[in-house]
Amino acid sequence: MESGNNTPTSEFFLLGFSEEPELQPFLFVLFLSMYMVTFIGNLLIILASVYDSHLHTPMYFFLSNLSFSDICFISTTVPKMLVNIQTQSKAISYGSCLTQISLFVLFAGLEDFLLAVMAYDRYMAICHPLHYTVTMNPRVCVLLVLVSWFMTTLNSLVQNSMIWQLSFCTPLEIPHFFCELNQMVQLACSDTFINHIVMYFSAGLLGIGPLVGVLFSYYKIVSSIHAISSAQGKYKAFSTCVSHLSVVSLFYCTSLGVYFSSIDAHNTHSSAPASFMYTVVTPMLNPFIYSLRNKDIKRALRKLFGRNS
């Protein structure tokens, strides 16, 4: 087997959702609208968290980082698809494809870690309220975010370096609307055993690990809420977790859908709709989930718009 990338690979072809010409304008408007809603919604969350002093708390600090990650996450895939639809081209250069994979792995992993960090924040606030201010001080919050960035960046660099070692067969067609890691590995002519080992190891360590942390945090939270005597106290404690729990459920349900749909190598087209939910719909819905039932965010947005006007 060849150990290096000796094939003159210059570009890949993203097949997208449909090759029907009449559907392309609809797909362009749909993805552009969802991208703009996602970008503006998450940007408003960030601005509200920065400008309103009442939101200078660990919970909203992590939320603003999650919103930034959502913007970067959807910007990794959708703009290139919009350009391809507009120019009626399916091509993406080899370097752009590797860059897209690196950024996708980075921000998908960052979302995973940030959701786990936010679950830990809720666990400390509900289960250990007397120690919350001391434990979740600004230095610890920044450290948690930096560790999340470090772990996901390291994983992205490792995955990218593994792709560089592969040689690819023809045709270089990816049945997806972006360059996805598993799809790229399936196109390789060279031995991909090590690539699969690294992918499964990183999925277990950086994917299942944060999920276990989220489940453990909520197990402790539910136990603490159950021990509260008053119904009003239970409702108040649980209401602080509803938005985060909704985002966690949406994120992991869609990501698990992507995983199970990609298991069958002969049914690669089925992963595109699941990935659409995972990479486009989830980042778009997050600002709505956090703002519709959150009085603090609503007040901050009203204050922000009032200041601008």
pLDDT higher at 162 or 261: 162
Where does the pLDDT of residue 21 fall: very low under 50, low under 70, confident under 90, or very high at 90 and above? confident
Q: Residue 184: pLDDT above 90?
A: no
Q: What is the rounded average pLDDT of the residues 3-7?
A: 43
Residue 269 pLDDT greater than 60, yes or no: no
The answer to whether residue 34 scores a pLDDT higher than 90 is yes
64 three-class SS: helix
pLDDT at 216 over 90: yes
User: What is the C-alpha separation between 119 and 116, in angstroms, rounded?
Assistant: 5
Highest mean predicted confidence (pLDDT) among 5-9, 180-184, 215-219: 215-219
Following CA atoms 256, 260, 261, 263 in sequence, which dihedral angle do they give, to the nearest 10 degrees? 140
The reported pLDDT for the residue numbered 6 is 45
pLDDT value of position 5 = 42
57 pLDDT exceeds 80?
yes
Tens-digit pLDDT profile for residues 275-303:
788 889 889 998 888 887 678 888 888 88
At residue 87, what are phi and psi to the nearest 5 degrees? Answer: -90, 0
Give the single-character DSSP code of 168.
B
Residue-wise pLDDT tens digits, 229-238 = 888 878 888 8
Q: Assign 75 a pLDDT band (cuts: 50, 70, 90).
A: very high
pTM for this entry: 0.89
Residue burial 276-306, b: 16+ Cβ < 10 Å; e: rest: bbbbbebbbbbbebbbeebebbeebbebbee
Domain residue ranges of the chain, discontinuous segments joined by +: 11-308
Phi, psi of 77 (to 5 degrees): -115, -45
pLDDT band at 308 (very low <50, low <70, confident <90, very high): low
pLDDT band at 1 (very low <50, low <70, confident <90, very high): very low
pLDDT tens per residue, range 60-74:
999 999 999 999 999
Judge whether residue 96 has pLDDT over 60. Answer: yes
CATH homologous superfamily for the domain 11-308: Rhodopsin 7-helix transmembrane proteins (1.20.1070.10)
Is residue 288 a contact partner of residue 42, using CB atoms and an 8 Å limit?
no
Q: Which residue has the higher pLDDT, 36 or 203?
A: 36
